[in-house]
């Protein structure tokens, strides 16, 4: 319990815990981050592929990239960090606000997950309102909607707005929590990086779990320089011993 020794008494009173998670938590399941050393795909910058302009410039290339990512994600399993968050639901009201599109929180058993940036398994039409889930590869590339337009992954690309219903619900949870734990995110992507500010306005305690320094480390009540797979099971054990 040494990591959380200084705040264990305050944690006891936390009724609602909100997690804000990013690519770092899934990196431990073998899914590369955008910004890390594995954040390149062939000779392309992943951050440049994940834009609407890149998609319209070369939809075949972007779909090829997403098919490869989807295969990688489907073969990945939740790690101890994901599992700890799911287990914590036994002891408190827990909500996960995730920037990840991999579904590993749900795979681990978490029941309250808001996917701020969409999901790798969902598709939508670039023109009409068609949307669906896709678990297998398309026979054509790029795939076409019944209306004849190109289908795209139902994810939020750089420069696009978050789904407003999901974002408004995320703000409500951030405003209501007693404790917010920010895990594996660099807090550089807007507007998700404003969620800790909403929590702070509610006088919530902020804990950051990240091996590296982030944009908001100085604003945290507690900073754990470790991985989520190491730190979060220890955090859950605090509740088991209450």
Annotated binding site for substrate: 66, 69
* Pair 99, 192: CB distance under 8 Å: yes
Q: Tell me, yes or no, if 105 is annotated catalytic.
A: no
Measure the CA–CA gap between 132 and 230, rounded to whole angstroms. 36
For residue 74, whether the previous peptide bond is cis, meaning omega lies within 30 degrees of 0, is no
Annotated binding site for Zn(2+): 125, 128, 145, 147
Annotated binding site: 66, 69, 99-102, 125, 128, 145, 147, 184-186, 210-212, 228
Q: Determine how many CB atoms are found less than 10 A away from the CB of residue 144.
A: 13
Closest to 31 measured CA to CA, from 73, 65, 74: 73
Measure the CA–CA gap between 192 and 227, rounded to whole angstroms. 20
Annotated binding site for NAD(+): 99-102, 184-186, 210-212, 228
Give the tokens for residue 64. 């090829």
Indicate which residue of 82, 105, 117, 173 is catalytic.
117
Measure the CA–CA gap between 232 and 210, rounded to whole angstroms. 11
* Pair 150, 143: CB distance under 8 Å: yes
What sign results for the dihedral spanned by CA atoms 64, 157, 175, 199? positive
Give the tokens for residue 236. 């859950």
CA triple 119-14-166, angle to 5 deg: 25
Catalytic residues: 117
């Amino acid at each position: 319990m040494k990591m959380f020794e200084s705040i264990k008494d305050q944690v006891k009173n936390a009724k609602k815990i909100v997690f804000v998670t990013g690519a770092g938590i899934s990196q431990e399941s073998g899914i590369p981050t955008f910004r890390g050393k594995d954040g390149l795909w062939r000779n392309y910058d992943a951050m440049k592929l994940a834009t609407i302009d890149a998609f319209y410039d070369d939809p075949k290339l972007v779909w090829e990239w997403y098919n490869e990512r989807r295969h990688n994600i489907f073969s990945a399993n939740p790690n101890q960090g994901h599992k700890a968050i799911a287990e914590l639901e036994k002891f408190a009201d827990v909500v996960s606000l995730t920037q990840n599109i991999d579904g590993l929180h749900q795979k681990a058993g978490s029941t309250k997950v808001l996917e701020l940036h969409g999901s790798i398994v969902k598709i939508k039409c670039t023109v009409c309102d068609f949307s669906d889930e896709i678990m297998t590869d398309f026979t054509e590339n790029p795939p076409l909607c019944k209306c004849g337009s190109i289908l795209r992954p139902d994810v939020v690309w750089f420069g696009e707005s978050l789904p407003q219903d999901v974002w408004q619900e995320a703000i409500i949870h951030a405003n209501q929590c007693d404790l917010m734990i920010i895990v594996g995110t660099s807090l550089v992507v807007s507007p998700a990086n404003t969620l800790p500010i909403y929590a702070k306005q509610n006088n919530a305690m902020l804990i950051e779990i990240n091996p590296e320094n982030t944009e908001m480390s100085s604003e945290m009540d507690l900073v754990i320089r470790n991985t989520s797979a190491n730190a979060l099971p220890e955090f859950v054990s605090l509740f088991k011993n209450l």
